[in-house]
Amino acid sequence: MARRLFVLNGSNLNMLGLRQPELYGTTTLDDVRGECERVADELGFDLFFAQTNAEYELVEWVHDAFRQDAAVVINPAGFSFRSVPLLDALKMLVSPVVEVHITNIHARDAVYQHSLISSAARVVIAGAGVYGYELGIRAADRLVPTITG
């Protein structure tokens, strides 16, 4: 039985590589998915990777992670700053939550500087670009026990 890992992406990340490349780079979400699949496979995770612009769908996926005792690496994007429902869902997880932001949110405009989600995260990675996803998966690997048969 493999360890479960959910890599969840919030609003507008489907436009990664097209939207504000000077800020977010030119790597697409499909590229990010491929890299996450590679790292998850290397570390022995069974990966669920998804993106949505709908808050309720993100909350439902967190509920699924809870039911499956899965670690979560999440880039909540715009949901970081106003989504109490997402925060409440993440707080019920027993497995670790790693929050990832492509940009350094602390160096951005005030509206982007305080993530509600950080209070539910064991690890927060911000400003490493899309490499933050790999760092997040590796952090989850360190926090989730290895399953032995």
Nearest to 97 by CA among 138, 147, 140: 140
On whether 103 is known to bind a ligand per the annotation, the reply is: yes
Whether 24 is catalytic is: yes
On whether 137 is known to bind a ligand per the annotation, the reply is: no
| 74 within 8 A of 100, measured Cβ to Cβ | yes
On whether 28 is known to bind a ligand per the annotation, the reply is: no
Task: Please give the span between the terminal C-alpha atoms of the chain, in angstroms, as a whole number.
Answer: 8
Judged on CB neighbours under 10 Å (0-12, 13-18, 19+), 66 is: middle
Whether 101 is catalytic is: yes
Exactly one of 24, 56, 112, 131 is catalytic; name it.
24
| 46 within 8 A of 69, measured Cβ to Cβ | no
Q: For residue 50, list its beta bridge partners.
A: 8
On whether 104 is known to bind a ligand per the annotation, the reply is: no
Exactly one of 101, 114, 131, 133 is catalytic; name it.
101
Positions at the binding site for substrate: 75, 88, 102-103
Residue positions annotated with a catalytic role = 24, 101
Which residues carry a binding-site annotation?
75, 88, 102-103
